[in-house]
Amino acid sequence: RLRMATGPYDDANIFAKILRGEIPSYKIFETEHALAILDAFPCAEGHALLLPKAKVVSVLDMPAEVASAFLAELPRLARMVQRATGAPACNILQNSGAEAGQMVFHCHFHVIPRWPKDALISAPPSRKDMLTPGEASATLAKMAEPKLPYEATIAKLDGLLSSLENGTLTPPPLPPAAAAKEATKPTAAAPVEAAKPPVAAAAPVTPKGGKTKKELAKDAAAGDEVAGNGKPVTPKPAAQKPATKGEGNKEGNK
């Protein structure tokens, strides 16, 4: 944001010296960002000042973060002044620039208690005819904040970052010439796998003698023993055991 500075800051101003403790003051309260004191030359009992601790000349060159922290104490000071004086109202004034009546060029706010018909401050008279729509439009147009040249670029970058964080970022479209060139590119065909030769079925193995294993198994089931050459096997007679001596005596005693 553009800020209108009212001039360079002077470290030798009286409020800077008060903040540094070089000059005494009648302190009401102090915080990290502000100092509230009684005005040394009050226009009414309870006239108080609120000073920011930041080095700013006026509201016109006060950063937003400084204003936020400093002005948070203004309602507190106004309530304290009203409670102490019993005044039914108060003025809160801030003069920015010499033409507005600023005399000490360190930003400060006046809190002035008010009573009926005290004639402390008189506002200039208002004009008799009401503001017209045309006048309002012209003034509003002049008050519009100027757009900086890079604001559009920043907005686009913010949008891209948001899309990236949300996972919705898509590639930008190709220019017409590039898109046409991309469309004419040949599509690579999928590789064709070479045909494998058929595997020949294994010939059945026939044992010697001309009979297959199946036929041999069938013969075995029928009770015929078959040799490896396919011919029937003649069983050998069982060997006769020689008779023992005891067995011979038994036979003779029968």
State which amino acid sits at residue 36: A
User: Are the C-beta atoms of 89 and 114 separated by less than 8 Å?
Assistant: yes
Pairing mode, if any, of strands 27-30 and 89-93? unpaired
User: Are the C-beta atoms of 78 and 66 separated by less than 8 Å?
Assistant: no
Whole-number Cα distances in Å, 83 to 71, 79, 110, 117, 144: 19, 6, 16, 20, 40
Pairing mode, if any, of strands 89-93 and 109-114? antiparallel
110 is catalytic: no
Residues 6 or more apart whose CB falls under 8 angstroms from that of 73 comprise 29, 31, 33, 34, 36, 50
Catalytic choice (33, 47, 106, 108): 108
- Helix, strand or coil for residue 19? helix
Tokens representing 241 are: 């055991």
Q: Report the sign of the C-alpha dihedral through residues 213, 217, 219, 220, in that order.
A: positive
How many angstroms separate the first and last alpha carbons of the chain? 143
Catalytic residue positions, numbered: 108
